[in-house]
Structure 1
Amino acid sequence: MTRMENVTQWNLIFTGLEGFGLRAMVFIIAIAILFFSWSSIKNIRPVSRRILLFSLRLAGTLLIVLLLFQPHLEQKEVLKLKNKVVCLLDASKSMSLKCGDIAVTRAQLLDNFFTENDAFFKELQSSFDVNFFTFSDIPTETSYKDIRTGITPDGEDTDFAQTLKYLQQRYKDDNVKAFFLFSDGKDTVERPANVNASEVIAGIAREFSSPFFTFAPAENMEARDVALSSISYNTFTFARNPWKVDATIKVMGYNNLKLPVTLKEGSDIISTKVITANEEGEYNVTLSFTPYKTGTFLYTVSIPVQPKEAITENNQVSFLVKIVRDKIRVMHVCGRPSWDERFLRQALKNDPNIDLVSFFILRTPNDISNASNDELSLIPFPVDELFTEVLNSFDLVIFQNFDYRPYDSPIYRFSYYLSNIETFVKDHGGGFLMMGGDLSFTQGGYDGTSIEEILPVYLTSGKDLTETAGLRAALTENGQRHPVTTLDINNDRNLSIWENLPELDGCNITTQPKADAVVLATYPSQGEPPLIAVRDVGEGRCMAITADSLWRWNFLSVGRGGSNRYYMKFWQNTIKWLIKDPLFNPIHITINKDTFLPQEEVQVNIKVLEKSYQPWEGVHLEIDVTNEFTGKSIFINKGITGRDGQYTFNFKYEEEGFYIIKTIAKNESGEIGQEHTVFNIMKADKEFKDTSIERELLMKLAEVSGGKYFNLPQKDIRGKISIENPPITKLVGKKQISLWDKGYVFVIIISIVSFDWWIRKRSGLS
């Protein structure tokens, strides 16, 4: 409260003989005493003496009555106070938007209002105690002088409910007679779809006893803007499955627009649609594509900036999506039934994480039939559909003892489909496995084809070379540590397992492994031909298993009283490696989370594994953190992996955006590999998602509180607002002065009694 003046008030109070009945009895007794006193002296002469005696007795009786009533004089110190008025000004970022085509922002519109109504506010401050606040989420007290110099709209969030609750608590014991609220009404609190912000805020406003006078820019002051007001998408999806993002575009201040809406992965455009916006309003669009890689990727939905747009920050939205595998889709093509085919297909079918599509080639286009296809139980191999239309929906393709040449006619052109498989591996990150047999490798005619281009081994030219001796597989030095051939985490036990696996029945002979291939096991015969070899090819991976009798690791192991777990473990490892399961990546970058606040610490760990997948000590790392869109480097670092193959570092950065951590691993022989990951630095800024003015909220607030809504600009507000201003006072101190227990009172009473006695004696009365 603010003081107006200090006033002293005096009051006479009685503290004795409490209760009306007792006081009435005293008055009756006093009257009776005076009556009998008058009766006893009514015959005294002269009359003047009689009147003097009665007057003395009347005075004495009154003094005694007053003495019984115990009179006090009460002094009060009272303050006369001013009623309060509260003014709130929206200082959120949305107030920085321009009003239509004019070069005036919403905040400047408020400045103009206070300039044009300065006299009104000076009068208001002379009659009321006026408090001024700026607010975004929580109000901050300011002064009229600061408001007149201009407010800075920089609030990150607008929360009307929180602001009103703050005012309730702040002024619960004060006489606030009016609230002035200046805003664009944009409340950025996220609420459930079935909850209306206006109703929530109106419910709080009903609890106030004072009216709200609300002010917002008029209809012709809407910002010109084309905004991605909302997007909806799954934060994770499955590789090789369609994924979509639904976007809502809000158009204000424009007509007859052709808006291309673009979806990008990083800087690559992956989907585009054009919408026609004939008038202001909201438009919905769905963009979709099919991802092939697993990991976390940055996607951006954007629309072009239009002439005279008030803000461009809401023309694009970026977000991270984690792509994982649902089920591993495997295409298994086999030339003829065999024990090896049977055991492999059973292993794949029994794995709940694998979706298997398997084909036996029991009928070729060259087979002569006198019946139609509809009457035959053996359907032709659907070559075109598999290797053109749906190939990229698979994670892994297995050719097991399959000869493609019967399909390489001028009609079927299977050699063309072999090039599709090469593209599937190199460009789409697919996996390819060729297994041995008399219809595989050179015997299947794959020498000189696109398949040989991706295989980890060179094929002989047209020669049917096989080894038929029964021998056990022999692990190479690389094979002793590679995840494909790791059947036990203990190296000694793993070697023992491989040494005790049943013998195989021979293998296909290839010439030699390619320079970038890794041989994991050989067939210990003359020349030690590769038995299991692997290779990274472009974005994908390939493997060659030159034997067709791995089934013996299952059947014979069980027959000896053992189990088939090593056979199953081998195939689990093989499939995970071929589809690039993240656990098998040789370079790992991990960060403590995906999204950070400005200046929050980003913790990065880089782990490097050898080809044998053991920790690689002493690897030199070149690390560069760059902005995804501008390419600007914000952090450069170098490090060396320790004994555990790991290097850890931390850093902070202020600017918002999406950033890529890239690392290049090198040793004395050259580059080992590269890896990257994406993270985001951002504030929870919702002010520019929707630039419209929410007058409905401000109108509702004024209505339920008994106030009034006004459009800005308003040049003369004086006669349009009436505020009650009843007088109020506050007691700041009081004291009582006793009038009955003073000595002079008793002296007066004794003096009256003595004078009465003296007169009666002089008159000869008893």
Structure 2
Amino acid sequence: MNLILSRPFWNGAFIFTPILLIVVASYLRLKSPEGRYRAALMTLRGVALLVLTLALLGPTLIFSEKVRRKPDLILLVDTSRSMTIKDEGESRIGSVKEALSSGILEKLNERFELHGYTFGSSLRGSLDVERLEADDDSTQITSSLLSAVDTWRGRPLAGVVLLSDGADTSKRPLPRKLPVRVYAVGVGSPKPPKDIRIISISVPPIAYVDHAAELSLFIENLGYDGDKIQVTLRENEGGAEMRKLIELKGQTVQVEFQIRPSAEGDFTYTLSLPTLPGEISSQNNSRVFPLKVVKSKLRVLFIESTPGWEFAFLKRALEADPNVKPDYLLIPRRRPPGTIPSLKGSIPIEGGLEGLPKPGDLAKYDVLIIGDLDSSSLTKGEFESIVRYVSSGGGVIFLPGRSSMGSRGLTKTPLARLLPVSIPPQGCILRSEEFNPILTSEGMYHPVMRLGGTKEENLAAWRDLPPLEGLFTGFSPKPGASILALFRAETDLPVVLFQRYGSGKVLFIGGIGLWGWDFKVWGTLTARPRDSNRPYRRFWAQAIRWIGTRTTAKLVSASLVKKIFQLGERGDLTVRVYDETFTPVEGAQVEVTLKTPYGKELPLEVEEALGTAGVYTASYKFLREGSYRFNVKARYGGALLGEDSVRCEVQRSTLEFEKPYLDEGYLKKLAEISGGRYIGLEDLDRLPKMIKAEDEFLILQREREIWDTPLLLVVVALILSAEWILRKRRDLM
């Protein structure tokens, strides 16, 4: 116990000393009472003054106490789906509940401040042993562990107790060190249980109408050698099935299927295996996969007047694409009278035509690529035949140049009706400035512009492309055009646009120097790798495939970014609404209902996309497996514009069952790099003695102010009362 003063002692002495001298002097001047009474009176008055002076100094008593503080300990329990596996009768999560209910938590609480959590794909809520359920679709051990440690940063941690089967699905390597000791408790059996599962499916990215597509299925066989099973391949849309009887031999079994699609479209198929006796789980016995079916080969006619680098690189790309059969028409440019005579006909080239095919032959082509033509390149009748070709369902890509965008260019021809832009009478200006196109919100997800799998990968791909050399300016988009890319985000200068014309599609590219995406990445025109995923070839393959896929023109069309979703993912639906002239409709009344696998139809909230005319969005988080169908209706002014529907499949991830055994190696390594220990669940009772932790002692201090108490007032009052009584008796009042 210590006594401290809130004010310096000399402050009290400065106040007390003169007052005390005055009191003594006043009593010394009195002739009575006797000496002993005088001394008593002075003492009482002095003591009262001293007590009051000490009170002014703010005296406080400090009491110190040594207290033991228990160190913190984190308990993590794996609740991923692999914990539902039954090794010897009881599920792994059941064994954990039984072990934690045997008194171990009470023992740990005696030594530690225990903080319990569950985890799977991430750190989850507080631990409740009675309500433990293994329902998470992935296991992220390291990231969950670090999240728990970060929650108690700054506190002295004795360690982390981890109860898991070690089936980490993150595929990330273990860190070199961890900030806290990990005491890993293995749950399950390290011996692989009996199981068959689908490891992978090898599917061609595109299948062709009336052509055989080879599918390879790889099955892992654990403990069923010699058994015969039936593998089923089912088309989800039509319900057609194929079955194949196979014998399980060896750990990996390969099964071949051959399908021959009869129509174009996006389809989903399900490959499934039967559930065998004693199998740990049937959740990894089926797999859904998509298959895109297109025409066997697209016929492309490339019409150009001034072949240059763009023509050379694009010709090379077309001929390298096994899914394209290109033809070429090179039309010499007409020269004004009085200059060098014009060439007639066409420029000879391998695979070149002598003139524009007649309308019947032109209809055999799926895509036309029109380069730098002017109004004199073809006759008016030939230009009109191209317009009719597109109107009846053909596709055209405009790759303009100085002539086609000039005052004597395409604006003077019937092709001006096809263009998604309006060119002024004086023509357009070529702006020579390097730039990378910026995708619009619609271009981000458009099939032509998708150079990466995810939104982030797509943005990075477009950002990292070699820049284009320039762009044409001065034109304006038509009302029905959709802008896919801009010159810069802060400008409204369009670079890539498309529109529908009749039953056909039109794509317009207003930038120049696309060939640099190939040349500046891979170098010279020759001796380059034949990689179809290179940005230049990928862009053109996607553009040709999308433009050349003939579909019945729809005023209302619904689409999803993919056909197969994982459980828990969100499906984002995009709806495009047009009027009879294929002008995007703003302010339409769009209704979306979702038919679920369990038979219910749910209305979804629809929002109109900001900044993109005629585009509407809806979203739904898939919480159950099975087939879903989005049904769409659009009205405007009470009139029905059209309907559409799109289907998708939702399946559970099977990552949790890729390693259906206790991965002791992973858990032992985790304990080793952290300085902890590894034990089996059966040795859980030994855990409290294994954990190395020293008790922390804290010094707690309590303060008690003695100057601000009623007792002090009572003491002063008693002293002054005693003095008053003595003075009263001696008639000194």
Range class of TM-score, shorter chain: 0.3 to 0.5
